[in-house]
Amino acid sequence: MSIVALIFTQHRFIARIGLVFLTGSICLGADKPAGVVTSAGSFKVDGAAVTNSATVFEGSTVQCGVTPCSLKRGAGAIDMDPNSQIVLNHSDVKITNGQIRMSEGSDLSIPSAEALVKPSSPQTIVRANFIDGQLTVDLLKGSAQLFQKGTEIYARLDSGTRMRFPADSTQPIGVDLLVTGCIHYKDGHWYVKDEHIKRDVEVRGEKSEKERRKVEIRGAMQVLPDKSDSVAAIVTVLSEKRLEGACAGAFLPVVETLLVGATAIPILTSVTRISVP
């Protein structure tokens, strides 16, 4: 551990000792270690510059510099692209900028929607990208579900699935879903086949043009009923834009990329817990 990191850790320890004299007790949940961050260069923890490695605590903000960072947390790890930033909570992570890759041990938190992306299978790997006000979540391995307000399921993510969550002045991130694909009709319902979402997305509402054509739809996500395993999400259409081009006929999963000193652009092939503001 570097001298700067040691001083930083000592300051956190002294702050906890000071709390004893001020209150006569220590809150057991305060300043609980959340893991160890390492990097080949420098990074910041709660605004303080650190080199090589540092122990971080629940509530800490970690910001990478020009080199990638890695956070070891329990049985899992969080790999961060250069210039990415996260906030660590008790069992989840909030991304506030850049791109991260999470494997086991944490949920992805979306506080603005009271939502969590929670793994639902072992060895799940999630990649999250938060740039220009849009959160993109890629399920690289395993499966996950998006919960809002506790136990209500709003979306299912299968391996290879990409979901995009936009935001604007009226809706926070995690409430709406952005899908691109062709509308089709089946068994009394209308669906969009997004080539990067394994299951169909059911679309409802009067704003949707009911004809087979390629569109981009922004819709408000609805609670998934118990018997809805065939769909990834159900949305009420808020806006719709017609697109040129042919309809995709097959699921095109997103795949793993390597960090090479700059934010990687996800590669797409034809082979078949984190948080934001």
Q: What is the pLDDT of residue 208?
A: 55
CB 29 within 8 A of CB 59: no
List all residues 6 or more positions away from 50 whose beta carbon is below 8 Å from its beta carbon. Answer: 2, 4, 5, 8, 37, 42, 43, 44
Q: Mean pLDDT, to the nearest integer, of 237-261? A: 80
Closest CA to 32 of 55, 3, 8: 55
**pLDDT of 205 higher than 90:** no
Closest CA to 160 of 269, 50, 247: 269
pLDDT band at 29 (very low <50, low <70, confident <90, very high): very low
Question: Which tokens hold the place of 260?
Answer: 């090479």
Mean pLDDT, all residues of the chain: 81
Exposed/middle/buried for residue 216 (C-beta within 10 Å: 0-12, 13-18, 19+): middle
Q: Mean pLDDT, to the nearest integer, of 224-246? A: 91
154/27: higher pLDDT:
154
pLDDT band at 209 (very low <50, low <70, confident <90, very high): low
pLDDT band at 99 (very low <50, low <70, confident <90, very high): very high
Q: Mean pLDDT, to the nearest integer, of 235-251? A: 87
Distance CA 63, CA 211 (A): 47
What pTM was estimated for this model as a whole?
0.80
Phi, psi (degrees; rounded to nearest 5) at 257: -130, 160
Q: What is the pLDDT of residue 200?
A: 95
Amino acid in the structure at residue 103: S
212/51: higher pLDDT:
51
As beta bridge partners, residue 147 has 116, 153
CB 78 within 8 A of CB 56: no
As beta bridge partners, residue 73 has 76
